[in-house]
Amino acid sequence: MNTKQQQRRKLNEYETVYLIKPDLNEIEFLNLAQYLQQLLINNKAQNVLSKSKGKIKLSYSINNYYEATFIETSFLGNGKVIEVFEKYLKENENILRYISFKKKFIYKE
């Protein structure tokens, strides 16, 4: 197996948590959540799983918001997937904060 084939099979398990503005209506919220999930799938992420933890109170204000909707997303992917995903989260005005963690490395046959 050559190096290019090995690189294609290297996947990392990522978890991203992000806070969404609380004033989005249900349709806007669902559209945003669906778009984010589709963005991951279109960039070849696997095993995409998102969970909403509901609205939470913040310890301090973020952009004058004292509460936000907490979303947790886990998926398998390479560096390009997380790069595209984080770029979108950074640029979207409805996302107050986000952070991604690389949980573990997986070698896929």
| Amino acid at residue number 65 | Y
Most distant CA pair in the chain, distance: 54
**pLDDT for res 63:** 94
25 falls within a domain: no
Global pTM value: 0.81
Closest by CA position to 75, among listed 30, 12, 17: 12
Number of domains in the chain: 1
Q: Low-confidence residues of the chain, pLDDT below 70? A: 1-9, 105-109
73 falls within a domain: yes
Place of tokens 């992917």: 77
31 falls within a domain: no
